DNA sequence: TTTGTCAACGTGTCCA
DNA sequence: TGGACACGTTGACAAA
């Protein structure tokens, strides 16, 4: 439990027939390289010196970014910030604990990661969005499979109806449960429930002439479908 | 060059 | 009314 995809996404979904382990298996292929992004290794935040490594390199790429107001400096954005492995790891960790942050938690995390609170906030927003997207994709896949099996079931039932209709064309011979002689057509009636011809003779149980429907009880297409609870 | 990822932004909505 | 959030989008970047 708590498996994470290479991209760090952790997903759970209450979909019948879908194990939650798909959080790591099912999505691993999504990004093409299931090996985690190497991009993080090439961290723009790392000090160029390459000397003794700061635990959390500054998440602020440009010196003047702090002052940058809305509009992000107008003509062009700053160089793209990539969070370091350690920063991502800690963010993921706290995301696992809580998908939302209180202002205090945000501040503390920002200090810990040497990021601005706004950056932590944005990271959590994006992270929630990615989680939701994956969840939606999962549900979509599940609904597609549902649609497929329901279509198949529908086809099968229609075939069954056709067969039953064909059977009804020829007058059935129903034996009297008492005399074992064929009953006249006038003595026959239609069972309203199962639409089968039965003997209308008093005393004769409606199901007397009913032939067991092949596979009726164990029809794999007639399971009591659990209501899909999303 | 194309495509996928992701940090960051703008905007609308909700709620205390 | 301000803050938090969802959602859609942008743009930088890496890999195919």
For chain A, the domains span 85-167
User: A113: burial class by Cβ within 10 Å (0-12, 13-18, 19+)?
Assistant: buried
Chain C nucleotides close to protein (CB under 7 A) are 3-8, 11-16
CA of A11 to C1' of C5 (A): 20
CA distance A90 to A113: 8
**How crowded is residue A41: how many other Cβ atoms within 10 Å of its Cβ?**
11
- Residue closest to C12, CA→C1'? A80
pLDDT at A227: 35
Nucleotide nearest to A118 (CA to C1'): B8
Global pTM reads 0.58
- pLDDT at position A71: 36
| Residue A144 backbone class (left: φ over 0; alpha: ψ -120 to 50; beta: rest) | alpha
* Rounded CA separation A175/A182 (Å): 4
Q: What is the pLDDT of residue A204?
A: 40
Rounded Cα distance between A145 and A15, Å, is: 11
What number does CATH give the domain A85-167? Answer: 1.10.10.60
Is there a contact between A118 and A72 (Cβ–Cβ < 8 Å)? no
- The whole-number pLDDT of residue A1 equals 39
Distances (CA, A) of A172 to A84, A126, A179, A193: 79, 68, 17, 18
- pLDDT tens, residue order, chain A (230 aa): 334 444 445 555 555 444 333 333 333 333 333 333 333 333 334 433 333 344 565 444 444 434 343 333 344 566 778 999 999 999 999 999 989 999 989 999 999 999 999 999 999 999 999 999 988 888 888 898 999 999 999 999 999 999 999 987 766 577 777 777 777 666 666 555 555 555 554 444 433 333 333 333 333 323 333 333 33
pLDDT at A59: 46
> Angle at the Cα of A139 (from A135 to A143), degrees rounded to 5?
170
Which residue minimizes Cα–C1' distance to B7? A81
Q: Which nucleotides of B are covered by protein (CB under 7 A)?
A: 4-10
Q: Based on C-alpha coordinates, what's the Rg of chain A?
A: 33
pLDDT at A56: 62
Name the residue among A40, A35, A121 with its Cα closest to residue A80. Answer: A40
């Amino acid at each position: 439990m708590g498996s994470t995809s290479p991209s760090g996404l952790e997903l759970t979904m209450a979909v019948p027939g879908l194990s939650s382990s798909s959080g790591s298996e099912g999505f691993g292929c999504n990004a093409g390289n299931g090996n985690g992004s190497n991009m993080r290794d090439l961290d723009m935040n790392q000090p160029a010196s390459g000397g003794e490594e700061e635990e959390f390199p500054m998440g602020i790429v440009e010196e003047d970014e702090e002052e940058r107001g809305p509009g992000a400096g107008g003509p062009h954005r700053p160089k793209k910030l990539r969070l370091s492995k350690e920063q991502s790891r800690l963010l993921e960790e706290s995301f696992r604990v809580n998908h939302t942050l209180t202002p205090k938690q945000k501040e503390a995390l920002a200090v810990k990661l040497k990021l601005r609170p706004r950056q932590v906030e944005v990271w959590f927003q994006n992270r929630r969005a990615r989680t939701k997207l994956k969840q939606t994709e999962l549900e979509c896949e599940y609904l597609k499979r549902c649609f497929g099996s329901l279509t198949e079931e529908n086809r099968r039932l229609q075939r069954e109806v056709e067969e039953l209709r064909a059977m009804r064309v020829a007058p059935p011979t129903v034996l009297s449960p008492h005399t074992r002689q064929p009953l006249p057509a006038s003595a026959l009636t239609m069972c309203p429930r199962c639409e089968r011809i039965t003997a209308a003779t008093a005393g004769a149980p409606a199901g007397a002439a009913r032939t067991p429907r092949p596979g009726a009880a164990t029809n794999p297409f007639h399971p009591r479908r659990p209501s899909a609870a999303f």
